[in-house]
A and B are shown apart, each in its own frame.
Chain A
């Protein structure tokens, strides 16, 4: 169980006894987590522990069934919502492998996203000129050439460019809660540093982060307030940033000495 002491202070995200399955296989088996505004939580764990599943279940991907439990984002229960409604409620998932959408320009995609979210909040849509200005600023912030706005979404982007593109989406959408799913995969050290700097620049007292990662190295660049170890669908250990270092040194085996029955590859 999580060893974070529940407080009466307002939470950004509260997950309570979350059970979820994929193709009738139970993956999450009683997940509890409490994230306060401005906090950065890292979720680590071995392959198959349910790390990526946590991100998909919270963001409402089809095929992930919630069996039990609740997830409250900024006072609102989100588990019954459609994926797009959760996004509009302020939840952002940065993908491990961002997919390409050929022929749909990045700018068109970004504007459609921002328009949809603003509309849901009853805000007036940006004019094309206003939005172009914002998009250009965001593009510069993540150090991508402006030509990337015209290119198809992730079309022919390198691994690092895709991750920076995700970051650009985050900057423009201004979410309350960001879940970064194995953001470091496929990145070399330099690219990882750029992405980490970008994430750090987006940290603020009213935005929280959940960083899902297998390796500790990303946490050298993005300092978490809390580190949790996820194993077999539950958080089995929580601590501060030093826990990540211990895991790096000792491996995941010391957390769990009993043998795993169904240790398959990471599901997604």
Chain B
């Protein structure tokens, strides 16, 4: 039985190809000079460079964290290249016609057409390739609505006041080791600003691609939703199949002003390494949002890739009546490791948070949920509900749950439910006895397990997530 399930879970990593693109790549190494060069490549103002250098000095004083339930060989930060960009991007192409067709083909192959006529209507895409943003679509249309959606390297020039005002306010430089590193060496990412009372007319999405060898990707995303605005943002990631590990250390900051709503969805499919755990991406990411009064931030993530995942998209519920949500599916197989979860920090009165986490472990993988729910003294009437389910496939994998609850307000209510189950012989036999192939049976059972999270994903991503888990979408009952 286990054999059949393993077979069912075996899949080619379809995004594992390498694009033949001539790049300008820094030699490996990390020092102040490298940071100055990154800043110079982006033609940054002095304040940005100072911010980076300050962060670098902070990082030098910090220790790599070791509390997560993951094992990996120590990262040699001097052996990584911190900047790589296609040469053709040097002249800053002004329109899509000037972009290297090979780059456009790369995204097409990944199912992300960048030519607006071919795109899914209603989704604007920022395509980040190694250290630079290649193109951002539908910008004019968005600007008509007052929405800013552009590479963060461009926002530093065009909207310095906004960037200065919010950058590093949700995830401070000192927050953690990888966040500090990101502050020092971040290269590109997306910047979003939704003006007051505006409902963003399209889904926004950023597609991250690592192509170059020995290169780290350090992207930085900042989304600011002003009072009463609304935005839904999607993020996808892939990388070629390579034998050595590559580091991806991103920082995402979300700011939801009073009555604003941000929905942030991720389908993470970085190269997971081979069957024996060779190669793959180290995905060490800090994602956090702050909610002002009556604001709402909803994180949905489907994590299927990466050799090691270390990631806790969190909400600081500062304003009264604000709402935080975290919906997560994390699938690990072969030798993959994931330590992921969330933090919900309740500061304001009557704040609410919901955590639904579904961990699926197969092969020899290890999958941990780690979550913190903190009710501060002022969080009168705050509520949290956490549901944390683990599904085991086979008998060599591990599922772990590390829930932390801190309540300093007696009126706050915290609920935690956790289950661990297996894809059972009985379930498999029932499916097969009705004529269903074992492969289809596994994906159906796993799909069922993840249903509560999948229904939170925007339609297009639900499709991609389904494909990733080899799941055919559910039939016709609406």
A contact set with B: CB distance below 8 Å = 59-63, 82-84, 87-88, 92-93, 95, 98-99, 101-105, 107-109, 111-113, 116-117, 120, 128-129, 131-132, 149-150, 152-153, 169, 173
Contact = CB atoms under 8 A, between A and B. Distances in A.
Given A62-B425, A101-B445, A103-B451, A129 B476 contact: yes
Contacts of B476: 107, 111, 128-129, 131-132
Contacts of B432: 60, 82-84, 87
29 contacts: A61-B433, A83-B429, A84-B433, A84-B435, A84-B437, A98-B430, A101-B445, A101-B448, A103-B447, A103-B449, A103-B450, A103-B452, A105-B477, A107-B477, A108-B475, A108-B477, A111-B475, A111-B476, A112-B436, A112-B444, A113-B434, A113-B436, A116-B434, A116-B437, A116-B440, A117-B435, A120-B435, A169-B434, A173-B435
B427 A101 contact: yes
A87 B434 contact: yes
Contacts of B61: none
B16 interface: no
Given A62-B1, A108-B474, A132-B476, A84 B445 contact: no
| 9 interchain residue pairs of minimum CB distance | A103-B448, A128-B476, A104-B448, A113-B434, A99-B426, A87-B435, A83-B432, A103-B451, A116-B435
Nearest to A95: B430
B228 interface: no
A116 B477 CA distance: 19
Interface residues of B, number: 28
Contacts of B426: 99
B445 A104 contact: yes
Interface string B17-28: 000000000000
A142 to B, nearest CB: 16
A116 B436 CA distance: 6
Nearest to B425: A62
A108 B444 contact: yes
Given A98-B430, A99-B427, A128-B475, A84 B448 contact: no
A173 B452 contact: no
A83 B428 CA distance: 10
Contacts of A173: 434-435
B438 interface: yes
A103 to B, nearest CB: 3
A26 B452 CA distance: 45
A107 to B, nearest CB: 5
A216 B95 CA distance: 81
A87 B434 CA distance: 6
B354 interface: no
A67 to B, nearest CB: 21
B435 to A, nearest CB: 4
A104 B447 contact: yes
Nearest to A173: B434
B3 to A, nearest CB: 10
B232 interface: no
A118 to B, nearest CB: 9
Interface string B161-187: 000000000000000000000000000
A99 B424 contact: yes
Contact of A149 (B444, B451, B477): B477
B444 A104 contact: yes
Contact of A84 (B1, B425, B436, B474): B436
Contacts of B477: 105, 107-108, 132, 149-150
Contacts of A113: 431, 434-436
Contacts of A88: 435
